[in-house]
Amino acid sequence: MFARSVNDSERGSSIVEFSVIGVLGFGLLVQVVVLFGVIHRATLATSAAARELGRAVVLADSGEEAARLGGVAVAQAARNHGLAPDALRPTIEGRVARGGRLRVRVRTDVPVVQLPFVGSTLPSLSVPVEATHVVTVDRYRSFSSPAQ
């Protein structure tokens, strides 16, 4: 009734090809979903660290106390979001002066290519995540040394 154009030796090969390509495609899709979750976690960590660092610096009584409390705030934000303690890199622009403004930036890099149980395979390929928070210093608060 129908003409046979397929050899008997090639029967079932499309199922194998579809299975291999399907598994690879599904694995890539899972990696992309995980990457978006890690980027979101890093975004939450950087914004929380910037906010808490700005608050700690503005409420401190001296430059040394501001540096100490700021370091604690950044380390705690990293720990709360499952990042390494040195993953967040903060910078502060401005100085603590009456009515002044401080611009706090916290940055981290999220590796794009990671293998389960292995970690980052291409450390140079990463997505930078940065958060900025501006804090206004109270009109009645200042200290002589600039914030670190």
Mean pLDDT split into 10-residue runs, the chain, 148 residues: 58 77 90 91 96 93 90 95 92 88 94 70 80 91 57
Task: Specify if 146 maps to a domain.
Answer: no
Expressed as residue numbers, the domain containing 27 is 13-136
**Sign of the dihedral defined by the CA atoms of residues 80, 81, 82, 88, in that order:** negative
Task: Specify if 148 maps to a domain.
Answer: no
Where do we find the tokens 């958060």?
A: 131
Instruction: Tell me how many domains the chain contains.
Output: 1
Task: Specify if 2 maps to a domain.
Answer: no
pLDDT in the model for residue 37: 93
Task: Specify if 30 maps to a domain.
Answer: yes
pLDDT in the model for residue 12: 60
Task: Specify if 141 maps to a domain.
Answer: no
Distance CA 9, CA 74 (A): 63
pLDDT in the model for residue 105: 97
pTM of the model: 0.74
Residues 6+ apart with CB under 8 A from 8: none
Neighbouring CB atoms inside 10 A of 29's CB total: 10
The helix/strand/coil state of 75 is helix
Task: Specify if 94 maps to a domain.
Answer: yes
Task: Specify if 102 maps to a domain.
Answer: yes
Task: Specify if 4 maps to a domain.
Answer: no
